[in-house]
A and B are shown apart, each in its own frame.
Chain A
Amino acid sequence: MPQCTTKYFKEIEYQPQAVVEFQEGLFGFEQERQFLLIERQDLKPLVFLQSLATPGLCFLTLPIRVISPDYQLEMTAEDRDRLALKKKPEIGRDVACLAIVNLRESGTVVNLLAPLVIDLATQQAIQAIVSGQGYSHEHPFYAETPVAAGT
């Protein structure tokens, strides 16, 4: 099995089918195309999006329905075409939908404006922008941020 050096879990082995491909990267990280989705039993429901090319780059994410059970994924036609998705992709059936978590000093926020959408049939992914529905790029999740040095 191939191996990957990760930001949080040292060296790990992975199944090739756990790799998702962002053909256009993420906003601000346009060169990062391949990411490994990592779930740990003890850290559920967190999902780690680890870059295969850059060990120090790992996004902390949560399945979007964990944060917002009635989240409506209204993708633009352009975004749908980038993944060859049908008009109303269903979260959990057609696509997985993750929100990037940002641990700020002022609190934990999640990005509901730009979810990561993974086509479950092809493992192709994009960071969509669902503007016009009032979702925020800094949706407050927790008032504080749990920080512990030395863990």
Chain B
Amino acid sequence: MLMMKRRQGEAILIGDDIEIHLAHIGRTRVKIGIKAPRHLAVVAREVHLVRNENRAAAEWAAPPDLSSLAERVRSSGAQESASRSDEKFES
């Protein structure tokens, strides 16, 4: 990965039409301005990962064997905390 040192107020160019501005540098966070062509999606990396993971989780390749999965979770010794944290859902 290319590493660059930049100060607040400075900018980076990627190719001819992507600009990244370091608008503000705080103690633990930086504020970044991004100028890019409209067809390029700009999104935080975590959001992209989570979106893909959600989509994958919504579609199984084969029907899951839920009974054996539940059985394995129960037998892994997690049962106590399970009944404590999910009791609010009982209808």
Interface band, chain B: 35 or more
Once the chains bind, are A103 and B50 in contact (CB under 8 Å)? no
Which residues of A have CB within 8 Å of B50? 27-28, 111, 113-114, 127, 129, 137
Q: Is the CB of A137 within 8 A of B89?
A: no
**Residue in contact with B83 in the complex, picked from A44, A58, A105, A151, CB distance below 8 Å:** A44
Answer whether residue A97 sits at the interface, using C-beta atoms and an 8 A cutoff: yes
Nearest CB in chain A: distance from B79 CB, A: 7
25 contacts between A and B (CB under 8 A): A18-B91, A27-B47, A27-B51, A28-B51, A37-B89, A39-B89, A42-B67, A42-B70, A44-B70, A45-B70, A45-B79, A46-B66, A46-B69, A59-B54, A59-B58, A62-B82, A66-B73, A66-B85, A102-B53, A111-B54, A137-B46, A137-B49, A148-B64, A149-B62, A151-B65
Encode A65-100 as 1/0 by CB contact (under 8 A) with B.
111010000000000000000000001100011001
Give the top 3 A-B pairs by smallest Cβ distance, nearest first: A45-B82, A148-B65, A28-B51
Q: CB of B78 within 8 A of chain A?
A: yes
Identify which of residues 19-71 in chain B touch chain A, using a CB-to-CB cut-off of 8 Å: 44, 46-47, 49-58, 60-70
Residues of B within 8 A of A111 (CB): 50, 53-54, 57
Contacts of A11 in B (CB 8 A): none
Residues of chain B within 8 A of A129, CB atoms compared: 44, 46-47, 50
A44 touches B47 (CB 8 A): no
